[in-house]
Structure formats: C-alpha cells, structure tokens
Amino acid sequence: MIFTVAIDGPAAAGKGTIGRAVAARFGFRHLDTGLLYRAVGAKGGDPVAAAEALVPGDLEREGLRTLAAGQAASRVAAIPQVRAALVEFQRRFARAEGGAVLDGRDIGTVICPEAEVKLYVTASAEVRAHRRWLEVGGDEAVVLAEVRERDARDMGRADAPLRAAADAFVMDTSVMSVEDAVARAIAVVERRLEERG
C-alpha cells in the first residue's frame, strides 16, 4: 500500500513528535526532512554539492538537533539547487510501498501534493520558543528571536515557502498536550484509511 502522511509547520510546533507517533501507530516509515537540510548545512563547503552527495548515513551525524544546525538548515534550504537535489530523495521515500510519514516545511505543498493526509502543525512563536529553549537551553529571549527570524525566512523565501496546503488539517498545538495532539493526528489518518477501504 502506498499511503503518505505529510506534516508541515514551523520549528518546534510538534511535527516530529507527531510524525514519529503516527508512523509507529500505523507501521509506516518516518522521515524528518529537516534532517536532510541540517545534514547538508552541517557538512559545510558547497551546499549544492553536499546535497547532491547526501547519503542516508549523513542523517546519523552528531549535532544535527542543535539550534546552530537548525539555522544552517534554514539558510541552505533557501537555495533552490539544494532543494531540487533533495526533492527526489523525499518523493521516493514518500511513495514507496508500506506507507510513509514525512515532516517538514513543504511536504504537502511541494514534495507530495498528492499525499493522502496533510497536516499543518503550528503553535505561537512564544510557545515554540519555550519548547526549543527547554531542549537547547541558553537565553530564552535569544531563542525567541531566532524562532521569529527562522519563521520569517521559511515563510518569506521565494522557493517553496512554508504555508499550509489548501486541503491540510490545521492543528494549533499551543495549548494541547502531546497526547491530545498525537491522538488528533491519528484520528485524521484513521479516518482517511477507512475512507480508502
């Protein structure tokens, strides 16, 4: 069975947590597409060459979850040639037999507009910055500024800007527990699977 769950949204909204839980619940494979861009940014050198040479092992690299790696990812993701090099990797993963969950910024709008389920997971900048601060520490005001800067870059880029697909189910997790957010996402996927028979 080919069945794609596309989860988009800004940094620290809960996409990854929801994506991993949905994949585990249905036995689908999971890809945090942000790791692709983080790995390219972390490799240094020419980002286009790094994207073209990316292999699955690069996603296991230490330090890909740091704030610095996230900022580097956002910068290289704004380069059209980097995005083009990584699109096919993501599409092959998404449409392989057995079901897949991909979370990122442009999965439902660009990578897999034909996805069977599209979720757009968001939360206020303040809530997302607080979550990220709990993960990485430092000065919470600086983390908030970085979250806002990243949002502006991700939403304002010319190529594949961050936005909800027209047919996405939008979930604001600002005041939701993790359990409630996961349950809501699972219910959406279950309903779609039932519709498909």
Is 9 annotated in a binding site? The answer is yes
10: annotated binding-site residue? yes
Tokens of 29: 């494979």
**C-alpha torsion sign, points 162, 12, 76, 140:** positive
Annotated ligand binding at 12? The verdict is yes
- Known binding residue 161? Answer is no
Tell me if 17 is assigned to a ligand binding site.
yes
Q: Is 16 annotated as a binding residue?
A: yes
Contacts of 175 (CB under 8 A, 6+ apart): none
Report whether 129 belongs to an annotated binding site: no
- The annotation places the binding site for ATP at 9-17
- The annotation places the binding site at 9-17
